[in-house]
Amino acid sequence: MGGWYNKEIRSISDFKGLKIRMPRLGGAVIAKAGAQVVNLPSDKIFHALKSGAIRAAEWVNPFEAGIV
Kindly report, residue by residue over 4-56, the tens digit of the pLDDT. 888 888 999 999 999 999 888 888 999 999 999 999 888 898 899 999 999 99
Residue 48 domain boundaries: 14-57
4, amino acid identity:
W
Phi, psi of 19 (to 5 degrees): -90, 110
Q: Given this model, what pLDDT does residue 58 score?
A: 84
7 in any annotated domain:
no
23 in any annotated domain:
yes
**DSSP state for residue 16 in the 8-state scheme:** T
66 in any annotated domain:
no
Domain count, the chain: 1
* pTM of the complete model: 0.75
38 in any annotated domain:
yes
5 in any annotated domain:
no
Q: How confident is the model at residue 60 (pLDDT cuts 50, 70, 90)?
A: low
Q: Given this model, what pLDDT does residue 64 score?
A: 54
Question: Is residue 27 within a helix (H) or strand (E), and if so which, with residue range?
Answer: helix 24-32
8 in any annotated domain:
no
Q: Given this model, what pLDDT does residue 59 score?
A: 67
